[in-house]
Amino acid sequence: MGALVPLDRPLSTSNLVQPSRASIMRYARDAYDGAPVVAMLESRLSRFHQTSHCITLCSGFWALVLAIRLLARPGRPDLLMPSLTYRRMADVASWSGLHPRFCEVDPDSLACSPATMRAGFTSAVALLLAVHPIVGCCDAPGLVALSEELGCPLLFDSVESVFEHAGGKKVGSFGTECFSLHASKLLNGFEGGYVTTDDDALADRLRQQRDGAAPDGMDVRLEPLHAAMALAGLDELDDQLVRNQACYESYRSGVSTLSGIKVVPFPEGSPTSHKTIVVELTDDWPLSRDTTVMRLNEANILARAYYHPPLHARPMAYAHRAATLPVTDRLGLRFMLLPCGHHVSLDDVRTVIGALRALAG
């Protein structure tokens, strides 16, 4: 089998949404003239997520760290999280002063579930950190019930599920949740993050920390020009959703003509952003997932392994709880992300399908 012919420009898996220049410039001008664009974004986002408060911050990472520090049960050293998840999540635990403790994910949803979190729970756990997977959602109502039953606080990392619903309710309205405005995510503020919460006291403390009293004296505020970018993106979200769905459907029909590979489906019948394309390589695909990613990358198709290596298998410079997670180990070798987002056209999708067909032999 020969090498694939490289494309003349790279195709990325990052969303990289570019709202119209006129709209960005309008919000940027308003910001320059002193309009409270950060507060405007917060009120738009709290309405969008149907929650009482939105507190913007400089990144999703620091949104998580600040929320964890405020929510964790004192005197308990561990933060429970899935292992098959965002690569920096164990660093989040460390910056929060906690040890990461890892649990399995459900093999059908690729999400931590009430059952997997219950199995990983011990009395040393200070907080349940439930992370929504890239496609679909956690069972958020079930995790809220588990948190109440265990008497252990719960925080959602909802970065991947900005637009989704869980159990008929908007993600962002389940207690306290963290989001990112990084350029690679659904809402692009260049960089940034926010916390949604219905807890008035927690919202007050987060605002106090952000507006001057952050632990370690860090500046964790969102820049007004970043808020301007995010506002422009929010205005054009519907257009993005239409493009994303066309891209997803084009992958679905293209991949269905190949054997050994399947698109991980978004849930039907409930709102979703179709923002990322995840495929599973099944046993009759001729190459390993890592070889497949390498061959595609050589052709400028910047496919990526899905959350690999899982966190419990990574070397870490700080203390964590050793874990044996056979389901995660197996799933960690099967999935990859394919190019999508604002700069990937339907023609590009056809090119990617053609490359996959060539690799399939």
Given the rule CB under 6 A, which residues bind ligand PLP? 59-61, 86, 131, 157, 159-160, 180, 182, 193
Q: Which is nearer to ligand PLP, 60 or 233 (CB)?
A: 60
SS3 for 341?
coil
The distance of closest approach from Cβ of residue 304 to ligand PLP in the complex, given in angstroms and rounded to an integer, is 12
Return d(Cα 101, Cα 89) in angstroms, integer.
Answer: 11
Q: Which is nearer to ligand PLP, 190 or 318 (CB)?
A: 190
Residue 59 Cβ vs ligand PLP, minimum distance, rounded to whole Å = 4
Cα distance from N-terminal residue to C-terminal residue, the chain: 7
Helix (H, G, I), strand (E, B) or coil at 201: helix
Coil, strand or helix: which one is 31?
Answer: helix
Q: How far is the CB of 333 from ligand PLP (least distance, A)?
A: 20
Contacts (Cβ under 8 Å, ≥6 apart) of 48: 170, 172, 234
- The least distance separating ligand PLP from the CB of residue 361, rounded to whole angstroms, comes to 33
Query: In terms of CB distance, is 260 or 309 closer to ligand PLP?
Result: 309
- Which residue reads 């405020």 in tokens? 70
Instruction: Provide, rounded to whole angstroms, the least separation between the CB of residue 181 and ligand PLP.
Output: 7
Q: Smallest distance, Å, CB 239 to ligand PLP? A: 23
Instruction: Assess contact for 51 and 197: CB atoms under 8 A.
Output: yes
Q: CA geometry: angle at 158 spanning 155 and 162, to 5°?
A: 145
Task: Give, as one character, the DSSP assignment of residue 7.
Answer: P
337 or 359: whose CB is closer to ligand PLP?
A: 337
User: Cβ 289 to ligand PLP, closest distance in Å?
Assistant: 20
Report the nearest approach of ligand PLP to the CB of residue 143 (Å). 16
131 phi and psi, to 5 degrees?
A: -110, 125
Please provide the DSSP assignment of 69-110 as one string: HHHSPTT--EEEEESSS-TTHHHHHHHTT-EEEEE---TTT-
Residues pairing with 279 in the sheet: 263, 336
- Give the residues across from 262 on adjacent strands: 280
Contacts with 331 (C-beta within 8 Å, 6 or more apart), sequence order:
84, 105, 107, 110
Amino acid sitting at position 29: R
Q: Among all residues, whose Cβ is closest to ligand PLP?
A: 60
